[in-house]
Structure 1
Amino acid sequence: MADTLEVWIVNAYRGSETVNFLQEQLRPFLSAHPSIRIEWRLLTFANALTEYVRAYKQGTPPDVFEFGTTWLPTLARLHMLSTVPSGIMSSRPIAPYLATASRYDERVYGVPWTADTTCFMARKDIIKQFAIDPMHPLSWDQFRHICRKIAENRLYGCQDGRAPRPIYFSCRPERVTLHRMSPWLWSGGFEYPRLHEKPISIMTSPRLQSTLEYIDELMHISGSTTEEARMSNYEGNLSFFLYGHTAFHMTSLFEAIRNVVSGPEPTVNSIPTQVIAMPCGPSGSIPYGGGSMLGVSSATTNQDAAWELVEALQAPTLVAAWTSWIYSLPAIECDFWERYLQSPDIQVLYANMQRARTYPMHPMWGSLERRLAVGLSELMWHLVEFGKNTETFARAVRIDKEINEILSLYWEVEI
């Protein structure tokens, strides 16, 4: 009798090719386990968490599924995940934060699969012009000075009008805005509070507010516009990689990894670029650490087969092939690192992962993350349109009040 396993994978880039790729990678495993059949479903990070919770409530969860590292506390608190049996993880996590992110309430619920970290990039001509060492972060003062020089060159030194502007900040109300702003906040000395305490202050935190003042200054130097603030990630990448409109850019790993694994895509990468360390604020240079994990549903009737499949999916050879194919980073030790760690870009990203910070491991983080992303977007949009003024703080007070209202639901039940 066949053991049919329903497996949900989060991957938007490769689409339907994903199933064929993973089936081929799993061919030795499936040949050795002829009773196992896999039914695949592909999701995006935008809808996966909602779909998981809906399926669980309806009594039809997948047996094996991929999920974001920040979702683990929510899924574990809802009793949707089985604990990971000993011996399943064949390789060590590549960075300390991944080991921490796999746990909730002293139990291991997730098997690290892919890794994500801050990807801060610069045009190579800018790196050369200002003698920037990609591995050693600029101080905030140094970075601000370079941004001023770039802006002055655009205004007074460039004859053809094609000189880049320093940097732009996306203000769209999306999770990615929070992921890309958090490194600035952490580097500026802000720390997300322990969410078990009440009341909490996030947007009104003096450290966060002082960092916003620095971001506001960079926006002013760069001449940020509302049109830029509206740009999608795709539009922002085209602006940087294809047209070279800005000197610096914070983006996803995709283009950087593709440049290393497959070479620059001519239709996208017309400007030579390189990954550099995140600028160093008062508290250092602190990147974001995220990624994805594999888990097994607590409701599956095929626990043994499900964990055997997870073990196969987390095998170092498969993880190396998978992350190279989707242009991501492996969350474990594997030959991807032996093959590509000589690349300067991968060296910076690897160093980022070693000192990366994650969000609080809290069951309500999914709801808080959405509100924080929208709130941060609102504050940044206000900076673009009006600069920092008394209304900026008034908005921060209102957002913190709403965040405390969300957390009050948890406090009433748990505390």
Structure 2
Amino acid sequence: MNRTLRVWLIITSREHDVLKFLNKRFSQFEEQHNINIELKLITWNRAFETLIEAYKNNNSPDIIQIGTTWVRTLAYMGYIEKIPQDFETRTSFVENMNQICIYRGDQYAVPWNVDTIVLATRTDYLKTLGIKKRDLDSWEKFYQVCETITEKRRSDPDLPEALAFSLRAEADLLHRFAAILWSKGGEFADFYQIPEKILTEEKVMENISYLADLMQTSDIKASDLDKHPYQLNNEFYRQGSYVFYIGSWYGIIEDISHNSFESENGNYNYTILPFPSADGTKSQTYGGGSVLAVSSRSEHKQKAWKLIELFLQDDFINEWIRVTGKVPAFEVDFWQKRDVDQRINTMYQQSINSKTYPAHPAWATIEKILSTAVAHSIWELIDNNNTEINEETFKLLKKADQNIRDLLKLSWEMKNYE
């Protein structure tokens, strides 16, 4: 009998440190449970496709880390196993993450990591530029602040640029776009129907125009459009090139865990602000993360769930945060520090109030269509110094809508798959 437990985890950085940590923990597990562990690290960009290909080729892993929007799709296809009745999962403090793990009344995955789109900044820059937090509680005010920073840079080019915002045609761009759309009171169409308008819906197009305008106001040029998010991370956190950053909270967690960017006087400069809203009141941002599941084709289901139990233990999680910069979707020591660290408290509150995409069976493909169309429409406007949706941009958005409608018609028989 095959004595190997195959584990696929999604890692985006620090691969050497991750492997060192996991090999140590896995060796202990292997000895205790008389099994070998074969680890494969994959990236978000190809994770879903790689997993589906593995199932098609009868080469699927035993344990998989998956995105929250994939759970019900994989459960519907019969690719992942129900959680055993005696398995002690850890409930997430983010309710939509608990719900996303449920399919037709049964739980198929366990919450693991949580992530949201945040607005990060440096407190020393805010002080130098005379910016108050109340100046940033709505998107209209945020636009005005970025405009003022850009104007000041014309006479003082040594000042940092206003905004770091990745516009690559990837899923992360859609996360940022959706976060701003939702926080301004907008919504995507109901994908469980076959909507006439999706990206051509009025509020969605207004959001595209707003972002194209914000990018140009922040002096983001066509040459900046393909900057990788990690490059912007580095320029914001390590080079201090920008006042604001909209994206993942990875750098903030690294700062909390390692004091990586601590100022000379011992006070942290990098912080998170509450996400702006339409009118300065309660806001919502995008909330995602990942969960753990066991393949329905695993020959070692019992030991696979035992290994997942290890992944959920406090001592494992505390080290995992330090090594990867990923934080758990459930209560641990890290989140208990929210009473004394405003950054952690903001992260916690934003996670609780976050929204996520619909758990539609075709979401992986829908997400690609949306990401590409949003990116190309913003690129087109910036490249032509436009801020309003023109005929060319509208055609692009309308074509994406049609592609999604065609896809929804193909998956119509799965509309009641929940």
TM-score by length of structure 1 reads 0.90
In structure 2, give the amino acid aligned to 1:12. Answer: T
In structure 2, the partner of 1:396 is: 397
Question: What is the alpha-carbon distance in structure 1 between the residues aligned to residue 334 and residue 187 of structure 2?
Answer: 33
In structure 2, the partner of 1:109 is: 108
Question: What is the alpha-carbon distance in structure 1 between the residues aligned to residue 71 and residue 315 of structure 2?
Answer: 25
Question: What is the alpha-carbon distance in structure 1 between the residues aligned to residue 202 and residue 121 of structure 2?
Answer: 30
In structure 2, the partner of 1:235 is: 231
Question: What is the alpha-carbon distance in structure 2 between the residues aligned to residue 324 and residue 57 of structure 1?
Answer: 36
In structure 1, give the amino acid aligned to 2:169. Answer: P
1:238-387 paired onto structure 2 within 5 Å: 238-264=234-260, 272-282=269-279, 284-339=282-337, 342-386=340-384, 387=386
1:268-298 deviation per Cα after TM superposition (whole angstroms, max 9, x unaligned): xxx9432212111258421111111110001
Question: What is the alpha-carbon distance in structure 2 between the residues aligned to residue 321 and residue 6 of structure 1?
Answer: 22
CA change 1:183–1:81 in 2 (3 A) is same
**Does the residue aligned with 1:192 lie in a helix, a strand or coil?**
coil
Whether 2:39 is the aligned partner of 1:34: answer no
In structure 1, the partner of 2:265 is: none
- Counterpart pick for 1:170 among 157, 166, 169: 166
1:123-134 paired onto structure 2 within 5 Å: 123-128=122-127, 129-133=129-133
Contact 2:150 2:217 in 1 (8 A): yes
In structure 2, the partner of 1:222 is: 218
Deviation at 1:356, TM superposition (A): 0.7
In structure 1, the partner of 2:412 is: 411
**Does the residue aligned with 1:7 lie in a helix, a strand or coil?**
strand
In structure 1, the partner of 2:179 is: 183
Question: What is the alpha-carbon distance in structure 2 between the residues aligned to residue 335 and residue 249 of structure 1?
Answer: 27
Percent identical across equivalent pairs? 29
Question: What is the alpha-carbon distance in structure 2 between the residues aligned to residue 87 and residue 336 of structure 1?
Answer: 27
Deviation at 1:179, TM superposition (A): 1.3
- Please say which of residues 123-132 and 327-336 is displaced more in the overlay: 123-132
Question: What is the alpha-carbon distance in structure 2 between the residues aligned to residue 45 and residue 29 of structure 1?
Answer: 27
In structure 2, the partner of 1:20 is: 20
1:36-75 paired onto structure 2 within 5 Å: 36-75=35-74
Question: What is the alpha-carbon distance in structure 1 between the residues aligned to residue 92 and residue 18 of structure 2?
Answer: 24
Deviation at 1:168, TM superposition (A): 4.5
Deviation at 1:174, TM superposition (A): 1.0
**Does the residue aligned with 1:189 lie in a helix, a strand or coil?**
coil
**Does the residue aligned with 1:167 lie in a helix, a strand or coil?**
strand
Question: What is the alpha-carbon distance in structure 2 between the residues aligned to residue 137 and residue 374 of structure 1?
Answer: 29
Quote the RMSD (CA, aligned, Å): 2.5
1:19-58 deviation per Cα after TM superposition (whole angstroms, max 9, x unaligned): 4312433566555x33233221221112222221111111
In structure 2, give the amino acid aligned to 1:305. Answer: K
CA change 1:196–1:328 in 2 (3 A) is same
CA change 1:243–1:184 in 2 (3 A) is same
**Does the residue aligned with 2:411 lie in a helix, a strand or coil?**
helix
**Does the residue aligned with 1:143 lie in a helix, a strand or coil?**
helix
Question: What is the alpha-carbon distance in structure 1 between the residues aligned to residue 244 and residue 212 of structure 2?
Answer: 16
In structure 2, the partner of 1:155 is: 154
CA change 1:131–1:413 in 2 (3 A) is closer
Question: What is the alpha-carbon distance in structure 1 between the residues aligned to residue 408 and residue 228 of structure 2?
Answer: 30
- Please say which of residues 235-244 and 370-379 is displaced more in the overlay: 235-244
Contact 1:317 1:335 in 2 (8 A): no
Contact 1:120 1:250 in 2 (8 A): yes
- Residue segments in structure 2 that go unaligned for 5+ positions in a row: 263-267
**Does the residue aligned with 1:258 lie in a helix, a strand or coil?**
helix
Contact 2:208 2:374 in 1 (8 A): no
CA change 1:203–1:273 in 2 (3 A) is same
Question: What is the alpha-carbon distance in structure 1 between the residues aligned to residue 414 and residue 252 of structure 2?
Answer: 44
Contact 1:82 1:296 in 2 (8 A): yes
Question: What is the alpha-carbon distance in structure 2 between the residues aligned to residue 3 and residue 230 of structure 1?
Answer: 45
Contact 2:72 2:101 in 1 (8 A): no
Question: What is the alpha-carbon distance in structure 2 between the residues aligned to residue 35 and residue 125 of structure 1?
Answer: 54
In structure 2, give the amino acid aligned to 1:255. Answer: G
Contact 2:18 2:324 in 1 (8 A): no
**Does the residue aligned with 1:291 lie in a helix, a strand or coil?**
strand
Question: What is the alpha-carbon distance in structure 1 between the residues aligned to residue 95 and residue 28 of structure 2?
Answer: 31
TM-score by length of structure 2 reads 0.89
